[in-house]
Amino acid sequence: TISTSSSLTLKNAHLSVPGGDIIVEGSGKLIGENGSTDAVVHTTGEHAIEGIGDGLVVMNDFHHGCSLEEHEWSGLHVDGDFYLEQTCRLNIYSGSVTGTIHPSMGGYFSLSNAAQIRVVDFGEPVAGATVTIQGKQVITNQNGIAIFTATYRNVTEVSDSSTGILQVYVLRNGHSQIRSWDPISPVNLDIMMSSVSGGYLAEWLRLDATFSPYYLDDNLTIISGTTLTLLPYASLSVKANRGIYVNGVLEATSATISGNDWNGITLAEDGLVNLASGQLMGGSLTSGPSSSQVSIEGMILSNAPLFVSGSGVLDISDSLLHQSDNCIFGNGGQVTVSDSTIQSCNQAGALLTQSTISFSNVTLGSGNEQGLHLRGASGLVTGVDGTNHDGSGPGLHIEMVDSSLQVTDSELSAGTNSPAISVEWSDMFTISNSIIHGAPGMFVDHSVLSMSEVDFVGNGSGVALDMRGARADPSQISYCDFDDYDNSVHLVGEEGDDEMATSVFTSNHHHATVAYASERLGFTSYGETIEGAVEISGTKSITAEIWDPISIDTTQVNASGVASVVSGSVWLITVLGEASSVQTDATIEVTVPSFGDIVSEQIINADTSEGSASIPFIYYSWTESGAAGAYSATWRANAPTYMEGTGSFVPNQFSSRNITAQLVQNQAPVVNITQPAQNVEVQEGEAVEFNAVGQDLDSGTNDELTFVWYLRSQGDDAPGTQIFSGSSGVVDNIGQVGVYIVTVVVTDAWGSSAEDMLTINVILDDADNDFIETCATSGPNAWYDLEENRPCGPDVYDDDDDNDMIPDNRDIFPTDPCAHSDFDMDGLPNSLIPNCETDLIEDDDDDNDGTLDSADPNPLDPGISGVDSEGGGGLLSPSIILPIILLIVVLIFIFLRGSREEFGGKEIY
């Protein structure tokens, strides 16, 4: 028993009273300072219990009685039950009761604790901060402290209620922090609210976790050559309408940068931002248009849109981007995203215009209106998972791209009101090795599509591939599967599209109610499995071509209007020669007559350089008026050394596509030169006539033989220069003195050839053929024939080339013995020797004075012409008077001479 005015202190001690009680009377006091007892304790006084430090622990039941009084204790911890007797009201601070609390009628029991909140800035106390708990505000004092008490448990006779976790709100300069406090225990909270000065950062600033979080109340510019570093577990909060501008370096690892309605981070020229394993919240991050670079790795970006333009660079990996309008927005720049998730973006996960991109292993989660919206972008999209896309727009929206953008190894799902992929006004969109779920699967609007190995997975309704409009270049769709759709391919054309290239589908599998539904657009199919109807319609002439289908139900092919469907196939023709040898140098021509309403005659030419000739042609057609097919196809085959072969076959859906063409060996023709003789000698410049006879041993005639003649000097490469064609001909001049080879090559209609040749000796010219054995070639009588008494030898040595006894130097026609003079030099001789054979024509006006020699008194004088000639003057013509005068002078001279002799030799005067 502790009597009134007495006290017992248990300091770092335990009082053991096995099975006993401790009674504290009146104003007596039991004090515990890290003390304990196993007794049952009974008290009545207002200050009967006091706990210091760790307080007093009662390891048994506790009884307290009072009447209409309110008592407050602290530091009491009861492991047993607590009995509050009479109408007492008791509040215990910094204590606890493990057992059951038994208040009496009208009694009230409560447990409360205190919280000490201290606000510091870089370790220094902050006075004037506002702390709010349970709606109660307290301003920190000069020591930065605000103290609160809170009741966490209230027990009456009829109720037992607990408060639960309380929120502690701290506000300073517009920045706030929230902490949690469970009032079942007292707490001392140090709340760090460190300030970072705005303006220009001119030296390296490191923010570590010790004084975190940090608050920026003004714009901060990190100048070139300066770095702001957030070390692990540091946090920086930026005031609204303020931002960070980076000319230098901003780096943060396992740190947080946040704010409400702040201006975000903007990079200037050569700015660099490296963020890793932390969070960025509430503000944008902008790279560009000047050259700058952002690296984000292992980050969570919440309401933190990324902007890139110009020469800016974004590199994002292993991160979560969410809760922005456009989580990534770009106009130009370079964007790389890998191993990241983009979700809950109100407009688009990424909206990029003319950017260079690389997306790899990116997940497009739920909550995006659109997934990736790429306009004029280039680069690679691979490994994108859009199976959880649930927005109203497409998972992948493509506009105005070309072959520089490629999508591969991705899996996408249709949105709530849109296709999985939408492609608009693109010169070329390339996608491969991907999976598309839902309907519509892909919408292609006035674009060229290159698609391969893409699987479309439907649910029995809708369209897998919907294509509108056409471009100058054809779309290419190959090795794709269209499974479980109402319509696998839907084509719709517009005015003028019938003149554009048609889409080409190769080796695809269609499993749909309608495989092709085409309106005003043609298409071409190669080697497809078509399980479903083919329907085409149009008001202008359009055609769907189906080549070599793996399977097709021709009863489900329908054409209406002026549209048509044709079916074609490739036949392989193998050309065999002797002993069934395959001819790889043969040519094939196949002719298919016209049939039906729309298919005209087809002529196909091919070769067998690859072993067989591939012969594609159309053999069946469908129009509104019905179906028609080709009834035959004829082939014509040619191969070197073989005669031409012909044959025919019946083409239809089930006929064999392998045809054999057997050819018969062609025998080479023979040829023989019949003129001139072998080793013939001809003079230089002498014309030579040639003639040859050939025979085609297969036909026995030479009607289809061709002859080509060649000339070469002995020792030159055969066959020489072509001189003429045909079985005969004349060569005016073989060449200079020497030995020549003449070859004739004869070729038959099937290409086999043979040849013959002869030798021609060209010697010097000898017009009079007097270079005989009696012609001396040396000594004093060189080039003179003493027996024949004449000059001799080749013309170059012979002084009289025509043996007309007139030297060549006085002979106008030195090689023609029939003439030698030409007074007027007009090419016609004055006269010809009678009965002399020549090609010359005698001149009938030797002096070329216009008067024929037969009427010209002096045919060698152009000044004297006939008596009646216009220039002669009649009898007074000089040609008459002068001879008369000359005759008179002669007579006088004779007369005078005779008279002198008669008179003794004296002259007579």
Listed as own residue / partner, the contacts of 702-705 with beta carbons closer than 8 Å and 24 or more positions apart are 702/669, 702/727, 702/746, 704/748, 704/749, 705/669, 705/746, 705/747, 705/748, 705/749
What's the chain's Rg over C-alpha atoms? 61
Residue 900: pLDDT band with limits 50, 70, 90 = very low
CB atoms under 10 Å from CB of 769, counted, come to 9
Least confident among 215-229, 263-277, 702-716? 702-716
Q: What is the pLDDT of residue 443?
A: 98
Q: What is the pLDDT of residues 847-888, one digit of tens each?
A: 777 778 678 788 877 777 654 444 444 444 455 555 666 677
pTM > 0.75: no
pLDDT at 889 over 80: no
Q: Is 863 exposed, middle or buried (0-12, 13-18, 19+ CB in 10 A)?
A: exposed
Residue 77 has pLDDT above 60, yes or no: yes
pLDDT at 379 over 50: yes
Give me the mean pLDDT over the 254-267 stretch.
Answer: 96
Instruction: Give the H/E segment covering residue 897.
Output: helix 878-902
Both tokens of 97, joined, read 């009761």
828 or 437, greater pLDDT: 437
pLDDT at 119: 96
CA distance 844 to 645: 70
Check pLDDT > 60 for residue 766. yes
The answer to whether residue 567 scores a pLDDT higher than 50 is: yes
Confidence of residue 794 (pLDDT cuts 50, 70, 90): confident
Where residue 892 falls among pLDDT bands split at 50, 70, 90? Answer: low
Q: Is the pLDDT of residue 706 over 80?
A: yes
The answer to whether 365 and 387 have CB atoms below 8 angstroms apart is: no
Q: Residue 87 has what pLDDT?
A: 84
Which comes out higher in pLDDT, residue 800 or 51? 51
DSSP state of 18: T
Q: What is the mean pLDDT of residues 162-190?
A: 92
Report whether 253 contacts 232 (CB < 8 A): yes
- In order of 190, 484, 578, 611, the CA distances from 666 in angstroms are 109, 59, 10, 21
Phi, psi for 242 (deg, rounded to 5):
-120, 160
Domains and CATH numbers, the chain: 7-106 (no CATH), 115-191 (2.60.40.1120), 455-562 (no CATH), 572-662 (2.60.40), 670-763 (2.60.40.10)
Kind and range of the H or E run holding 276: strand 272-276
Main-chain dihedrals φ then ψ at residue 826, nearest 5 degrees? -105, 10
**Sequence letter at residue 262:** W
The stretch 626-648 carries a mean pLDDT of 94
Q: What is the pLDDT of residues 452-463, one digit of tens each?
A: 999 999 999 999
Q: Are 251 and 274 in contact (CB under 8 A)?
A: yes
Residues 395/386, Cβ–Cβ less than 8 Å = yes
pLDDT band at 899 (very low <50, low <70, confident <90, very high): very low
- Quickly state the pLDDT bin for 896 (edges 50, 70, 90): low
* Interval 717-726 mean pLDDT: 95
CA angle 792, 794, 796 (to 5 degrees): 110
Which amino acid is located at 909 in the chain?
A: Y
Per-residue pLDDT band for 565 (boundaries 50, 70, 90) equals very high
- The pLDDT mean for the chain works out to 92
Residue 528 pLDDT greater than 70, yes or no = yes
pLDDT tens digits for 116-127? 999 999 999 999
Q: What is the pLDDT of residues 423-454, one digit of tens each?
A: 999 999 999 999 999 999 999 999 999 999 99
Per-residue pLDDT tens over the stretch 774-790: 898 889 989 898 888 99
- The per-residue pLDDT for 881 is 58
CB atoms within 10 A of CB 856: 21
Residue 907: the pLDDT is 39
pLDDT at 583: 96
pLDDT of residue 345: 97
What pLDDT, on a 0 to 100 scale, did the predictor assign at position 886? 67
Label residue 814 by pLDDT band (50, 70, 90).
Answer: confident
CB neighbourhood size of 587 (10 A): 18
As a whole-number percent, the residues of the chain with pLDDT over 70 amount to 94
Q: For position 882, what pLDDT does the model report?
A: 59
